[in-house]
Structure 1
Amino acid sequence: MKLTQTHIAPKQHTRIRLQDYAVGIFKAALTKSALKKALKKQYVTVNGNIATSATYIHGGETICLTIMQDAPPRKNFVFKLDVLFEDEYLAAIHKPAGLLVNGNSFKTIANALTQNITRSTLSDVTKPQPVHRLDFPTTGILLIGKTSSSIRALNTLFKNRAIKKTYYAVTIGVMQPEGIITTIVDGKTSKSKYKVLQTVDSVRFKKLNLVQLEPFTGRRHQLRKHLSGIGNPILGDKDYGFENLILNGKGLYLHAYSLQFTHPFTNENLYLKDELPKRFKKLFKDI
């Protein structure tokens, strides 16, 4: 069975890429990643023509998404999540380690949101969706959109780098007190800032550091690659750590601590945070 959704774009002040404009307008492809997949599979048309990532919207176009619906909707993944903040537009939750944010797996954060997030009363309410990603082993704060307009607005904030993200990590080895790392990740420029807050001696690892991190870009595994690249991999990183210094059984010591941004609908200055895990505090007593 085919499912078709249609949207007529209002007049735009300036032209905008379809893959940016159409985020959140179709319930069958709410997120940016889902929309990109739909474009790649040629599910989207503009004025009857197959759309691509290079298609621009000026206003007045008829945008259609057509997908095949063969299987019944997937059941929700029953999993208790800690909600850190919530209003009618958006929410922030704690992402535990060992769960995918979204994807083809059943056990994802996205599939557990409906039972944990209060349904918005606004007219464009939709199924709550994560608007960015955290790696499978990473813990910390994750931002959720609750309405179609909120999902679009939050995606725009991330795209424009208007959301300040702060992470904490435990790294191995002697480090400079602070620095900026700029490299190419996946063919694109990536930039991160770090500052060492505390250092303790370790019998096995010599030195362990509590490091505050601020990524200026959002490449895949960026912080993990950057720290490994300067010779200070994150404790527990099985992908980018040194073979003789892998910590088994304790997970990755990388935590998404806070998000700072202006609320796109209330204009409130938000500073949302997710406190450091206990395992960090066991290593650094004075946190």
Structure 2
Amino acid sequence: MQKVAEHIVSEINTSRIVDYLLGVFDQLPTKNSIQKAIKSGGIRINDQACTTAKIPAPGDRIGYYSTKSRIKPYSLEIEIVYEDEHLLIANKPPGLPTSGNYFRTLEAALAHSHPLKFSETNLYSPRPAHRLDNLTSGLVIAAKTSKALFQTGQLFQKGKVHKTYNALVMGKTPNEGQWKSVINGKPAITAFKKLKEVRSLKNDQLTLLELSPKTGRTHQLRIHCSEAGFPIYGDPIYAKQTIKNKGLFLSAIRLVFTHPVTLVELDVSINLPSKFINRMKNEQNRWERRNGNSKSNSTAP
């Protein structure tokens, strides 16, 4: 087994480990995935196997170990935005799971396009060090070595990877601010900034936001936008209005972090996906045609 990430319990806790670990390891986003990891020996406390009844204590070192070895390759072209001998950064398409018990995943696609010569230090293929929701597109870091996988996981655990997302939301938002709430029993904070707004027949207005999560809770951005009254366009769970065959308008467009091996500062970004641009243009044009207004009421980025 290879250690992927480690977490140290800092406060007194009364929850069993399955509940405690919700939101701790990006690779284990649900109770079911945590339970499976515990039962397979992938969760160890102070280097010892544990059960689902264990209650972590202050000072405990909880390690997540990957028990997976070779991934069955899946032929799918993936854009690689950055790559070196230790890791790569891929642009995950929407609708593609990062990893998991599926045949068609980003991890399987990387196993096809980037097979590695397995060794004591190298993995069989690049392994995602964190995850994006299935419906969310954008940047994902995948490690090529055990060292890079563990150290990148540590960066995420310590909040040292700064992520920026673009989201197209329903409604007219404030210019900027911060949303705070409790998700899965833990504090969640998201900073937001308005980039552009357009008129819309069904929603009156759509707003393009820049989102910067300060914490990493499951569905945090989707929940915060919905709680604030501005659900993300195309969200099948948190938006009352669904848009068929358009997908979720949420994309991870920038990662800033110190390379875990070379210690070089990396700032990697992608452009706003074209579907965002096309949707905003179409919504504005339809509104203008209906209202007989040829002047754009949108604000420039």
- How high is the TM-score relative to the length of structure 2? 0.74
Match of 1:167 in 2: 165
For the Cα contact (< 8 Å) 1:140–1:255, is it kept in 2?
A: yes
The one-letter amino acid paired with 2:212 is E
Tell me which of 209, 212, 227 is aligned to 1:214.
212
Match of 1:104 in 2: 101
Is 1:250 aligned to 2:246, yes or no?
Answer: yes
RMSD: 3.4
Matches within 5 A, 1:158-237: 158-237=156-235
Matches within 5 A, 1:10-29: none
- 5+ residue gaps, structure 1, are 8-14, 18-30, 58-62
Residue aligned with 2:94, SS: coil
Residue aligned with 2:244, SS: coil
Match of 2:276 in 1: 280
CA–CA distance in structure 1, aligned partners of residues 71 and 2 of structure 2? 24
The one-letter amino acid paired with 2:164 is T
Cα offset for 1:33?
3.6
Cα offset for 1:267?
1.5
Is 1:115 aligned to 2:102, yes or no?
Answer: no
Tell me which of 125, 140, 153 is aligned to 1:155.
153
For the Cα contact (< 8 Å) 1:89–1:145, is it kept in 2?
A: yes
The one-letter amino acid paired with 1:105 is Y
For the Cα contact (< 8 Å) 1:190–1:219, is it kept in 2?
A: yes
Match of 1:10 in 2: none
Q: Deviations over 1:118-155 (max 9, x none)?
A: 63798511131111111111111111011001011000
Residue aligned with 1:197, SS: strand
For the Cα contact (< 8 Å) 1:122–1:147, is it kept in 2?
A: no
Residue aligned with 2:199, SS: strand
Residue aligned with 1:162, SS: coil
Residue aligned with 2:78, SS: coil
Cα offset for 1:47?
10
The one-letter amino acid paired with 1:85 is Y
Summarize the Cα distance change of 1:49–1:167 in structure 2 as closer, same or farther, 3 Å threshold: closer
Larger mean Cα displacement after TM superposition, 113-122 or 139-148? 113-122
Larger mean Cα displacement after TM superposition, 207-216 or 266-275? 266-275
CA–CA distance in structure 2, aligned partners of residues 248 and 107 of structure 1? 22
CA–CA distance in structure 2, aligned partners of residues 120 and 249 of structure 1? 40
Larger mean Cα displacement after TM superposition, 147-156 or 73-82? 73-82
- How high is the TM-score relative to the length of structure 1? 0.77
CA–CA distance in structure 1, aligned partners of residues 172 and 202 of structure 2? 14
Identity of matched residues, %: 32
For the Cα contact (< 8 Å) 1:198–1:211, is it kept in 2?
A: yes
CA–CA distance in structure 2, aligned partners of residues 86 and 66 of structure 1? 23
Matches within 5 A, 1:77-88: 77-88=74-85
CA–CA distance in structure 2, aligned partners of residues 173 and 227 of structure 1? 10
- 5+ residue gaps, structure 2, are 10-25, 282-299
The one-letter amino acid paired with 1:112 is A
- Give the number of equivalent residue pairs: 253
Summarize the Cα distance change of 1:164–1:235 in structure 2 as closer, same or farther, 3 Å threshold: same
Summarize the Cα distance change of 1:176–1:163 in structure 2 as closer, same or farther, 3 Å threshold: same
Q: Deviations over 1:210-263 (max 9, x none)?
A: 100000111111100100001100111111002xx3221111100110100011
Summarize the Cα distance change of 1:261–1:66 in structure 2 as closer, same or farther, 3 Å threshold: closer
